[in-house]
Structure 1
Amino acid sequence: MHIFEVLFRWVDFHFVTIIVVLHVSLSIMTSLHVLLFKENERTSLAWIGLVILSPVVGSLFYWLFGINRIKRLARKEHPQTLKQDFRPEEKTVDFHQLPANWHSAIVAGYAIHPVNYVAGNRVAPLINGEMAYPAMIESIDRAQHYIVLSSYIFDYDSLGHQFVDALAKAHERGVIVNVLLDGVGIGYSWHKSDRALKKRGVKTARFLPAISLTSTRFINLRNHRKILCVDGAEAYIGGMNVSKDNLVMSSKHPIDDIHFKVTGPVIDQISQVFIEDWFFATGELIEFPLYCPDTQTSRGDKPVIARVVQDGPDEYHDRIHWTLISAIGCAQKSVKVMTPYFIPDQTLMTSLHAAALRGVLVEIIVPEHSNIPFIDWVMEANFSRIMEHGIRIYKNKRPFDHSKIVMIDDIWSFIGSTNWDARSLEFNFEINLECFDVGLNKQLTEFFLQKKQNASLVTENDVRAVPSYKKVRNNLVRLFSPYL
């Protein structure tokens, strides 16, 4: 007891010195990590300033929220059998008879993400939960061999109950079911959906759990992908979580969104992304059925040329970012963007401005009010900069529109889970489908024009009319946009 009293008195007497030494040590170690691993100079300077000026707390924030890279190989050796080879043969580029101005995008696409563009696909837009969820549950009910599902949010509400029941019944009739849930996103349902699935015997896993006693947690790095693949025959991707709020006709807090049903050989690329994510989360290598052509391919409509572009703070980093830049550079007539959060970095914004300067019509639709107020403040602070060189930005008056689509000219479409902000492009694991097809582009353009009818064009007068106190607030929050 005497020893503890002496120790307590010593700590009490040297308390300030201990804090200073701890702060200096942590600051040096953290600042070195920032200098070695942060690429953006302004972000690096901001983190170092926070670390130095906020003793201990600044370093703690950095290690919790500032790490935006992770090596999947760091946890377990990545077996060569994990990755199927979807790369093109050397020196062979199939342009699929696409217009000549898109040939450079195909060449750049292979350099950015060496995965084949494959023909023979069909991509069907599903508007809101009223269309998407019945189709997804019907596919689950038809499953005979294997189901994989990945979702950022899986609410345990009336809609979540339907998915749990469908997945459990598939498991009971002998279908192998794997459900991957994000370690933070599952918290939206207080882990109820995870527990309900396990109780019914469905195999689940968490991607980077927020709390772990066995490994380092990166709570800033989230799996934002939404994937459902059934028997290698049907797949669904897009921006829609499992939540009754997407049933806009009956929800108290409706969320508009668009999801996509995919058939064709590109399904193998979609399921491969899940296979890699499942292995990373569990160390288990699953064998998912490959796509097998059926009579659908004989139908007369022209199939979609498509490929998966995956992104994340790992070996796939920045691939969606560069894909967008490359495609914008090929635009000749129009660029249409619809996203819930529009806070692109300077490079992406410059690409849009360059297109507008060439005479390309650039139109962007964002929600008038998103589900994150301070994101709205940042977007409002950027309106005057966005509108330079003739870019048009519209505010959708719907309660909240979560749709994420990009259409360029009358042939290129980009669909999936990615938002136009640092969170999505830097920190999240995302999946998008890059598509070449006039029919799909036309469908999405009509969807975009319908949304525009319910949106108001932002004008210079609107920007000038914002009260000064809001301008100060908006621009203050904008300083933190790289971390939002």
Structure 2
Amino acid sequence: MWGILSAYWPHILAIISLVMAVVAAVHAVMTKDEVRGAIGWAGVIILSPIVGALLYAIAGVNRIRRSALLSQRPGHRAGADSGRPVRIGDEEVGRLFGRRFAALKTLGDRVARHPLTTGNRIETLHTGDEAYAAMLAAIAAAERSVILETYIFDRDPLGLRIADALIAAQKRGVAVRVLIDAVGARYSVPSMAGYLREGGLDVRVFNGNIIMGLRLPYANLRTHRKIIVVDGTIAFMGGMNIRQGFTTEFAGEASAHDTHFQITGPVVADLFAVAAEDWRFTAKEVLEGEAWAIRTPIADGPAVLMRAVPSGPDACLENNHKILTGALSVARRSVRIMSPYFLPDQELISALVTAARRGVAIDIVVPSVNNLVLVDRAMTAQFDQMLKNYCRIWRASGAFDHSKLFVIDGSWAYVGSSNLDPRSLRLNFEIDVEVLDRDFAGGIDARIEAVIAAATEVTLAGLRARPYLLRLMDRLIWLGSPYL
């Protein structure tokens, strides 16, 4: 056998290379929706024998095929405790907010798997100190179940505090499940997963494991969702990972900023369904029974219209992209965006520019200090496309702000875990909510307005005054933006 291999290894290697190239190139041609993407990957595969196919296996496969949970949650039907319907019709939305928002509802109905429901409440948690305190209080009060899904769960004093609360809940009989992304789990060494398992919790790592590495061919696909659902009644979601750097308690005045949300009402059933589906995909366990029963009574008083919008490289591919493009098409007065990583594709840039050209005031806020330098450089390389087409871009002063906020006309808001970059729009599993409510949207609008008041405006003249070599470097970094 060794003699055959030593004599014919070049021929064997050539056959292996040819088979790998054909399989990978055919997969790219048959699965890529964009001509440029298909041609680009086919070229890499053909021009880089073996290496190109391996690169494609690691970074080129951007779809996971998995079956969806078919169970219909109580939030899709009627408020169990009130008997009132929770779905809202097109005519009612049109009466309350105008025909354009009824059209946006129709888009959401056809894109997302979850309905627009009434009877919800959403509370903005403006700081890490406020958000983590609310999470801890909810976990401490849990009686039946807690499911937590997150991208990063650091093994720092803040993370250990939440971990101990989860372990204590499990010891008093609460069913607890924790899902951490395989990449995010590596932000701490040693990982928090080990500490939680030692405490007796069922902890899983999404799309990989800590010891052996990521799961091919989906190594580039991550869960970026941040969801906590307690007792099927109260939920937390938004942009906040579990890290001490977002609290003044541990990081002082230099702490990073973020925005998170506490939610009650029928939409909690849909947030739970998203987390439970990710858990089933990872752990092969369906969360059912009394512990996981959903109880989402309609809130008394003014009710907020909300919809959960999951996005990801499966059946929900580019849901966030479609919803945001639709929202830009119905905006009349203003669009305000706050994002730490602002790298929209050409379709979204065209939608922004088109809205600006028809007189909509477009304000985009990004941090002046970014935790990802390469992403910031790529962002800067793209700014001129919007600035020369009537959009305004602002660099927020102060500490890094990780908030992901989008509001149009002070009436409709889109908040959650999605950044406006290629990874969030195509590669990550994300969770956002669209909120049709003037009070809530007005609050988000005011929050962004306050940041703009202290921000520095980015100008075309300022960009063009930068040294040519620096601008060239930004453009070269921008070429790799889909995988930053």
Fold shared, TM-score > 0.5 on shorter chain: yes
Conserved? CA contact 1:248–1:256, under 8 Å: no
Specify the alignment match of 1:347 in structure 2: 347
SS at match of 1:389: coil
Conserved? CA contact 2:151–2:224, under 8 Å: yes
Conserved? CA contact 2:342–2:379, under 8 Å: yes
Deviation at 1:98, TM superposition (A): 2.4
Specify the alignment match of 2:20 in structure 1: 26
Deviation at 1:178, TM superposition (A): 0.9
Specify the alignment match of 2:408 in structure 1: 408
Specify the alignment match of 1:264 in structure 2: 265
Structure 1 residues 125 and 306 mapped into 2: Cα distance closer, same or farther (>3 Å)? Answer: same
Return 5+ residue gaps in structure 2 as ranges: 78-84
Structure 2 residue 188 is matched with structure 1 residue 196: no
Q: Distance in 1 between matches of 2:266 and 2:88?
A: 22
Written as runs of structure 1 = structure 2, the 5 A alignment for 1:281-300 is 281-287=282-288, 288-293=292-297, 297-299=299-301
Structure 1 residues 449 and 117 mapped into 2: Cα distance closer, same or farther (>3 Å)? Answer: same
Deviation at 1:224, TM superposition (A): 0.5
Q: Paired residue for 1:39, among 33, 37, 40? A: 33
Specify the alignment match of 2:104 in structure 1: 105
Specify the alignment match of 2:428 in structure 1: 428
Specify the alignment match of 1:164 in structure 2: 163
Conserved? CA contact 1:43–1:482, under 8 Å: no
Specify the alignment match of 1:86 in structure 2: 76
Identical-residue share of aligned pairs (%): 34
Structure 2 residue 7 is matched with structure 1 residue 49: no
Return 5+ residue gaps in structure 1 as ranges: none
Q: Distance in 1 between matches of 2:447 and 2:357?
A: 26
Specify the alignment match of 1:243 in structure 2: 243
Q: Say which is worse superposed, 168-177 or 209-218, in terms of deviation.
A: 209-218
Structure 1 residues 448 and 276 mapped into 2: Cα distance closer, same or farther (>3 Å)? Answer: same
Aligned residue pairs total 470
SS at match of 2:415: strand
Q: Distance in 1 between matches of 2:333 and 2:214?
A: 53
Structure 1 residues 155 and 94 mapped into 2: Cα distance closer, same or farther (>3 Å)? Answer: farther
Structure 1 residues 216 and 229 mapped into 2: Cα distance closer, same or farther (>3 Å)? Answer: same
Q: Distance in 1 between matches of 2:216 and 2:483?
A: 20
Q: Paired residue for 1:10, among 7, 30, 39? A: 7
SS at match of 1:237: strand
- TM-score with structure 2 length normalisation? 0.91
Q: 1:287-341 CA deviation, whole Å, 9 max, x = no partner? A: 22213427xx334xx2211010111100111111111011111101000000011
Q: Distance in 2 between matches of 1:273 and 1:56?
A: 37
Q: Distance in 2 between matches of 1:64 and 1:234?
A: 37
Q: Distance in 1 between matches of 2:264 and 2:347?
A: 34
Q: Distance in 2 between matches of 1:292 and 1:45?
A: 48
Written as runs of structure 1 = structure 2, the 5 A alignment for 1:350-365 is 350-365=350-365
Q: Distance in 2 between matches of 1:479 and 1:192?
A: 32
Q: Distance in 1 between matches of 2:69 and 2:435?
A: 30
Q: 1:214-262 CA deviation, whole Å, 9 max, x = no partner? A: 9744111101100011112211000100110111464277321110011
SS at match of 1:327: helix
Q: Say which is worse superposed, 334-343 or 101-110, in terms of deviation.
A: 101-110
Q: Distance in 2 between matches of 1:431 and 1:56?
A: 36
Q: 1:261-292 CA deviation, whole Å, 9 max, x = no partner? A: 11111111111111111111111111222134
Deviation at 1:422, TM superposition (A): 0.7
Conserved? CA contact 1:180–1:278, under 8 Å: yes
Q: 1:15-42 CA deviation, whole Å, 9 max, x = no partner? A: 3x44444333322221111111111112
Give, as a single letter, the amino acid of the residue that structure 1 aligns with 2:181.
Answer: D
Q: Say which is worse superposed, 208-217 or 104-113, in terms of deviation.
A: 208-217
Q: Distance in 1 between matches of 2:122 and 2:259?
A: 12
Structure 2 residue 322 is matched with structure 1 residue 332: no
Specify the alignment match of 1:180 in structure 2: 179
Specify the alignment match of 1:381 in structure 2: 381
Structure 1 residues 191 and 227 mapped into 2: Cα distance closer, same or farther (>3 Å)? Answer: farther
Deviation at 1:157, TM superposition (A): 0.3
Q: 1:386-429 CA deviation, whole Å, 9 max, x = no partner? A: 21321001112333211001010011000100000110010111
Deviation at 1:191, TM superposition (A): 5.2
Deviation at 1:192, TM superposition (A): 2.8
Structure 1 residues 90 and 152 mapped into 2: Cα distance closer, same or farther (>3 Å)? Answer: closer
Structure 1 residues 118 and 366 mapped into 2: Cα distance closer, same or farther (>3 Å)? Answer: same
Structure 1 residues 422 and 143 mapped into 2: Cα distance closer, same or farther (>3 Å)? Answer: same
Q: Distance in 1 between matches of 2:341 and 2:89?
A: 38
Q: Distance in 2 between matches of 1:175 and 1:91?
A: 34
SS at match of 2:389: helix
SS at match of 1:124: strand
Structure 2 residue 96 is matched with structure 1 residue 95: no
Written as runs of structure 1 = structure 2, the 5 A alignment for 1:438-453 is 438-453=438-453
Q: Distance in 1 between matches of 2:104 and 2:335?
A: 15
Q: Distance in 2 between matches of 1:89 and 1:442?
A: 23
Q: Say which is worse superposed, 152-161 or 366-375, in terms of deviation.
A: 366-375
Q: Distance in 2 between matches of 1:20 and 1:403?
A: 50
Structure 1 residues 18 and 232 mapped into 2: Cα distance closer, same or farther (>3 Å)? Answer: same
Specify the alignment match of 2:123 in structure 1: 124
Give, as a single letter, the amino acid of the residue that structure 1 aligns with 2:153.
Answer: F
Conserved? CA contact 2:220–2:427, under 8 Å: yes
Q: 1:331-374 CA deviation, whole Å, 9 max, x = no partner? A: 01000000011111111111111110110000000112322211
Q: 1:434-465 CA deviation, whole Å, 9 max, x = no partner? A: 00111111211121122213321101111111
Give, as a single letter, the amino acid of the residue that structure 2 aligns with 1:279.
Answer: R
Give, as a single letter, the amino acid of the residue that structure 2 aligns with 1:64.
Answer: I
Conserved? CA contact 1:86–1:114, under 8 Å: no
SS at match of 2:167: helix
Aligned-residue CA RMSD (Å) = 2.4
